[in-house]
Amino acid sequence: MSDAAAPPGPPVRVLMIGNGWFPEPNTGGLERYFGELLDELPEARAIVVGDRHVTRHDRVVAVCAADRPLPLRLWALTRAIRKEAADAELIDVHFALYAFLPMVLGAFRGKAVVVHFQGPWADESVASGDASRWRLRARRALERYVYRRATAAVTLTGAFKRVLIERYGVSPWRVKVLAPGVDLERFAPGDRAGAREAFGVAPDAFVV
């Protein structure tokens, strides 16, 4: 009996569903996380919200401008996702809103679904100034629907794992904590005086 490791199988066909594309204007950490994960998965394809010129990435489909009315965005995304999901084996969701309709319509049937939870969208909307109670309830219900039906959920911290379990009712056995890393070659201490000069900061100024 041989102890040799079995040869790796073919790569899993992944479809990633995102909120936007980095570095499109007004994008943040979620989009950067999404973009760099795609770069590490050469077999993956992605669908994001944005004008078609937002990225020339040959594995990214940009659908509908981010400032278009929500119903138009949802319709355009759902059509694109249903088409692209047909050949995928795993669906990788980074924003629950855009996965909701395809999930309800059966586009993910028979496929593994992984969701990335980077914060409670419903509560973040309230913190941003949306005082509507019915929109809060609707967003929470939508998130709960998607998260509970996922094969697995990924969080960056134990605190967010607890939110998924306690607030959304997700089974703890399906939540994986994957702490983010830092590229120490790219993000390394440099010349302090040179950096202050480049950004127009006085040599003796207090900087946080």
Q: For every one of its 208 residues, what pLDDT tens digit does the chain have, with 9 covering 90 and above?
A: 555 666 677 788 999 998 877 666 556 778 888 888 888 888 899 998 876 665 567 888 888 877 788 888 899 999 999 999 999 999 999 999 999 999 999 999 999 999 999 889 888 888 889 888 999 999 999 999 999 999 999 999 999 999 999 999 999 999 999 988 888 888 888 888 999 999 999 999 998 8
Q: What is the pLDDT of residue 36?
A: 85
Return the CATH number at 116.
3.40.50.2000
Q: Which long-range contacts (CB under 8 A, 24 or more apart) does 179-184 make?
A: 180/33, 180/156
Q: Write out the residue range of the structural domain in which residue 111 sits.
A: 14-198
* 161: number of Cβ within 10 Å: 19
Q: What's the number of domains the chain is made of?
A: 1
β-pairing verdict for 175-177 and 14-17 = unpaired
Are 135 and 125 in contact by the 8 Å Cβ rule? The answer is yes
Q: What is the pLDDT of residue 67?
A: 79
**Strand partners for 114:** 92, 152
Q: Which two tokens stand for residue 197?
A: 């000069």
Residues 6+ apart with CB under 8 A from 170: 147, 148, 150, 153, 164
Establish how many alpha carbons lie within 13 A of residue 54's alpha carbon, considering only the half-sphere containing its beta carbon: 25
Buried b (16+ CB within 10 A) or exposed e, 99-137: bbbbbeeebbeeeebbbbbbebbbeeeeeeeeeeeeeee
Cα distance between residue 78 and residue 189, in whole Å: 44
Q: Which residue has the tokens 């790796």?
A: 8
110 inside domain = yes
DSSP code, position 59: T
**Strand partners for 63:** 49
8 inside domain = no
Beta sheet of 45-49, edge-to-edge order: 60-63, 45-49, 14-17, 90-93, 112-117, 152-155, 175-177
**Beta-strand runs (E) in 39-126:** 45-49, 60-63, 90-93, 112-117
Give the global pTM.
Answer: 0.81
